[in-house]
Amino acid sequence: MAMFDYSAGAGLYPCKTVRRTSRLRYKRFDSVAEALRFAIEDMPVSMLRGSVLEVEEARYNGQQMRELYDADAYPLPRRGRQKKLSRFHNPGFLVPVGVGCATSSAYSHLR
C-alpha cells in the first residue's frame, strides 16, 4: 500500500440501518487513525460494510478501512474489537463432542 497520511482529518459516514435504530451519524475526526479506531473497534460489525470514510476528497469503504487499520503503518495501539454478541451467543455453554447430538450413543434409541 502506498504512503498514507493517518494524521489528516477525516469524516466517517456510518451506514444506514434498515430499521434506523442506530444513533450513529456523521462524525468528524481530527485524524484518520482516530476515525479508523472508532470504525473498527467501537462500531457494530454490521455497520462497517456500508460505511464510508472520507479523507481529503477520497472515499474508503469498509474493506478498505479494515486494510488501513490492519496496515503496519497504523500509528495508534490497537485495543482489539469488543465483539457485539448476538442474544443467542452464550460463550459459557460448550457441548463436548458427541454429547447432545442425535448421533451420540445416549440418543441411539431415538433413531
- Per-residue pLDDT of 1-33, as tens digits, reads 468 899 999 999 988 665 555 567 889 999 999
Q: Is residue 93 part of a domain?
A: no
What is the reported pLDDT for 34?
96
Q: What CA–CA distance (Å, rounded) separates 23 from 28? A: 15
Residue 81 has what pLDDT? Answer: 54
What confidence score (pLDDT) does residue 19 get?
A: 59
- The per-residue pLDDT for 92 is 47
- What pLDDT is attached to residue 17? 60
Q: What is the CA radius of gyration of the chain?
A: 20
In a domain, residue 91? The reply is: no
Look at 5 and 44; give whichever has higher pLDDT.
5
Band the pLDDT of 58: cuts 50, 70, 90. very high
- Residues 74-104 have pLDDT tens digits of 999 988 654 444 444 444 444 444 444 444 4
SS3 84: coil
User: Is position 64 within any domain?
Assistant: yes
Number of domains in the chain: 1
pLDDT score at 21: 56
**Inside any domain, residue 37:** yes
Stretch 52-67: mean pLDDT = 94
Domain range spanning residue 56? Answer: 1-78
pLDDT of 22 reads 58
Q: In what order do the strands lie in the sheet with 58-60?
A: 27-29, 10-13, 52-55, 58-60
